[in-house]
Amino acid sequence: MGYFDAASSAPLHPVARQALLASLDEGWADPARLYREGRRARMLLDAAREAAAEAVGCRADELVFTSSGTRAVHAGIAGALGGRHRVGRHLIVSAVEHSSVLHAADAHEAGGGSVTQIEVDRQGRVTPASYADALRPDTALACLQSANHEVGTEQPVAEVAAVCRKSGVPLLVDAAQSLGWGPVGGDWSLLTASAHKWGGPSGVGLLVVRKGVRFVSQGPADERESGRAAGFENLPGIVAAAASLRAVRAEAEQEAVRLRELTERIRVRVPRSVPDVEVVGDPERRLPGIVTFSCLYVDGETLLHELDREGFSVSSGSSCTSSTLTPSHVLKAMGVLSEGNVRVSLPMGTPEEDVERFLAVLPAAVTGVREKLGAPVPAATVQQDDALVVDALGKRCPIPVIELAKVIGDVPVGGTVRVLSDDEAARLDIPAWCEMRGQEYVGEEPADHGAAYVVRRVS
């Protein structure tokens, strides 16, 4: 079996398992108590904090453990905004942040605050200049992930941190995807991470608040974890998280070289063996184990099921997933193809043979899905003035794109096709199709029960 979804959750590291079992016997007592069992639990907690702080590159008293990475993000953003409420209520985030950051931004905006989203390029990368331009006198906090969870693109954290520091604005870094590979550079102010991303147990997050950063914890006061993470500490989980972080760091340098070679193999060979594929994300500045590609004329959910039958567990940022039925916000912000999207994220220790087998079965899986979708209920096409109209109302992507591809050759060069669609994903996928196929995307027009996407034939 090929588990290729480590970016969602990495398999439990053997060191984490050992530490978890050992601490269940030794760390069950309340670390706040002064009797023998409490002192033993406190020693384990302190040792875990020291180990985690060393891996992050911060002081032990700057780091607290939370109940999850999401909880760390929410507490970090709320606390930093609360600490700087006199400065203002302006928050800056990138458009490709993890949903936990964007949800916190939505809640802040709903509560009367203001939010600026920083755009990214087609590689999913921000520029320090865009953060500099977004800073205002009332900016209380800026957020930027260290690396993207869907496409693996690494962000210029150190440069953005320098821009923010110059203006006196703290920068919160979501390091969930990258911390297992190494510390985050730059003069950042706050940092969050999640243990299950590097092979630790679920239910443990990290929140780091540098000394000197104004921070006011929100919600009822709690004496544990410096008042920044309420509730009894999950001590066995914390010990296992810190132990596994140290273990994966010891393996990271050598394993990064190996996984980069495997993901580069996927990046190069998939477009050669599968027609009409777009590999997305920065080709150089990316995490070692993540590679993402999108397949034209393929329903992402169906493709994932086909790969699952072949023994491969992958994920998708596709527009067509059962959980959201909307385009991935990351792919949408990048302006790349969202249909038929596959994210391969290799865990440490992935055998080369599994990657080779994946590359062997993928072409047939894509072909099979395309054959199933290649003959849908014919869309109605009518001539309207000088434009060919394709009625794809009521049909989910990739059907509108498939129908566009079928008829584009029926109009003369310079002629246009108007695709009628009520699927939100078409707003992203049709322009991306034009980019790949060298056709001109004219724009979107209002239409009954949806929108009309106008494409001009160039070649």
- C-alpha pair distances (Å), 210 with each of 102, 207, 284, 377: 23, 10, 30, 59
Q: Which amino acid is at 56?
A: V
Q: What is the distance between the alpha carbons of residues 157 and 153, in angstroms, rounded to a whole number?
A: 12
- C-alpha pair distances (Å), 409 with each of 395, 403, 432, 438, 457: 21, 11, 18, 13, 8
SS3 316: coil
Q: What is the distance between the alpha carbons of residues 398 and 419, in angstroms, rounded to a whole number?
A: 12
Strand 171-174 and strand 190-194: the pairing is parallel
- DSSP-assigned letter for residue 180: G
- DSSP-assigned letter for residue 10: P
How many residues make up the chain in this entry?
A: 459
Tokens read off for 233: 């500490």
Q: For the range 222-225, what are the long-range contacts, defined as Cβ-Cβ under 8 Å and sequence gap of 24 or more?
A: 223/32, 224/32, 225/64, 225/65, 225/66
Give which of 364, 29, 69, 38 is closest to 193, Cα–Cα.
69
Task: Assess whether the previous peptide bond of 398 is cis (omega < 30° from 0).
Answer: yes
Residue tagged active-site, from 58, 320, 397, 434: 320
CB 101, CB 73: distance < 8 Å: yes
Respond yes or no: is residue 58 known to be catalytic.
no
As annotated, the active-site residues are 320
